[in-house]
Amino acid sequence: MHHFLSLADLTAEHLSGLLDLAVDLKNEWKTGPNRPLLGRKTLGMIFQKPSLRTRASFEMAMLHLGGQALYFSPFEIQLGERESVADVSRVFSRYVDGIMARVFGHDDILTLAEYSSVPVINGLSDYNHPCQALSDLLTIIEKKGRDLEYLKLAFLGDGNNVATSLLFGAALTGMDFAIGGPPGYELPADVWEQAKLLATEHGSTLSAAHDPTEAVADADVVYTDVWASMGEEEEAEERARLFRPYQVNDALLEGAQPDVIVMHCLPAHRGQEITDAVCDGPHSVLWDQAENRMHAQKAILVRLMGEGQA
């Protein structure tokens, strides 16, 4: 593993190994400090978009592992505007041991990786959000056990970056995946093609429905995300109207398994894609889910920058 750009780049064995390491590092941190597996290592972070979880969890992960993170806000580097993405990558990778970037266009992640002399981690692009899906798999394992092939995850809402990475994660682990959303907002065809190849290999059933009750039927995990992602704010009003039937609320959850867990990558627009009652209710695992970003990313960082440790 040289970069971490998409879950679809991983083998099932790599993914499983990362999850094992995340579990170990979380246990270690819960009972005492982590070993300094990244002592004196540095992570440069480029953000073109806002963040709470991604910045905080990467920065704390580096600190806990004995390293340091360096944050650049959207205003500073101005990726591709002040200077080319390739030149940013050539220069930045001379200073740091790894780069994490959150960008609009996925091509910018690919260009950063192409010209970087150090590992690049995708901290979200318009195409996918692999760090999120990796940590979500960790949360599902904690709540439901390791045998993901017996589970069904239903994603309600937009066929967006988070849905894409969850689809790849499900396809690699043998978990069934169903998405429910309005016509015109499905996952892209090339994403389905790639996921279907992985699903055939690992035994997942993948499906898409426009009927939300069909998507959540017997689901063990119900997942949602904002209806308008960062950069789509101008469409928010129209999307709010179109996506209304896909709100995760108590009535919709009646069709899922009685012990269903509800997940949201956050930030949540309470009252839109998810109700207050569900966010704060007995099925919600939102806060453990957010915490696990830090533990899963420690595994990514150690694998990429840890020089064979752990």
Catalytic residues: 102, 129, 132, 225, 265, 293
Task: Print the binding letters for residues 96-135 with ligand CP: x by CB under 6 A, - otherwise.
Answer: ----------------------------x-------x---
| Minimum distance of ligand CP from residue 145's CB (angstroms) | 24
| Minimum distance of ligand CP from residue 52's CB (angstroms) | 4
Give me the half-sphere count of Cα atoms (radius 13 Å) on the Cβ side of residue 127.
Answer: 17
Burial 95-119 (b: 16+ CB within 10 A, else e): ebbbbbbbbbbbebbbbbbebbebb
From the list ligand NVA, ligand CP, none, pick the one residue 251 interacts with, judged by a Cβ distance below 5 to 8 Å according to partner type: none
From 6, 34, 48, 51, residue interacting with ligand CP (rule: CB under 6 A):
51
Q: Which residues make beta-bridge pairs with 180? A: 156, 209
Question: Which segment (24-32, 33-41, 103-111, 263-271) binds ligand CP by CB under 6 A?
Answer: 263-271
Q: How far apart are CA 37 and CA 34, in angstroms?
A: 8
What is the size of the binding site for ligand CP (CB under 6 A)?
A: 9
Neighbours of 30 (CB within 10 A): 8
* Measured CA distances, 114 to 85, 109, 185 (Å): 10, 9, 31
Q: How far apart are CA 146 and CA 53, in angstroms?
A: 25
Cβ proximity to ligand NVA, 35 vs 49, nearer residue: 49
Question: Which segment (112-120, 259-267, 279-287, 298-306) binds ligand CP by CB under 6 A?
Answer: 259-267
| Minimum distance of ligand NVA from residue 130's CB (angstroms) | 12
What SS3 state is found at 156?
A: strand
From the list ligand CP, ligand NVA, none, pick the one residue 52 interacts with, judged by a Cβ distance below 5 to 8 Å according to partner type: ligand CP
Q: Where are the beta strands (DSSP E) in the chain?
A: 42-47, 68-72, 98-102, 120-122, 152-156, 176-180, 206-209, 221-224, 261-264
From the list ligand CP, ligand NVA, none, pick the one residue 277 interacts with, judged by a Cβ distance below 5 to 8 Å according to partner type: none
Helices 189-202 + 161-173 axis angle, to 10: 20
* Measured CA distances, 261 to 9, 32, 134, 218, 269 (Å): 28, 29, 17, 12, 19
By the rule CB under 6 A, 141 interacts with ligand CP: no
Residue pair 14/130 in contact by the 8 Å Cβ criterion? no
From 18, 79, 156, 265, residue interacting with ligand CP (rule: CB under 6 A):
265
From the list ligand CP, ligand NVA, none, pick the one residue 165 interacts with, judged by a Cβ distance below 5 to 8 Å according to partner type: none
| Length of the chain counted residue by residue | 310
What SS3 state is found at 284?
A: strand
Residues that bind ligand NVA (CB under 6 A): 124, 160-162, 225-226, 229-230, 265
Cβ proximity to ligand CP, 53 vs 298, nearer residue: 53
**Which residue is at the shortest CB distance from ligand NVA?**
229
Cβ proximity to ligand NVA, 165 vs 257, nearer residue: 165
| Minimum distance of ligand CP from residue 163's CB (angstroms) | 13
Cβ proximity to ligand CP, 12 vs 266, nearer residue: 266
| Minimum distance of ligand NVA from residue 194's CB (angstroms) | 19
From the list ligand NVA, ligand CP, none, pick the one residue 221 interacts with, judged by a Cβ distance below 5 to 8 Å according to partner type: none
Q: Which residue type, as a one-letter code, is found at position 70?
A: L
DSSP symbol at 79: B
Binding site for ligand CP (CB under 6 A): 51-54, 124, 132, 265-267
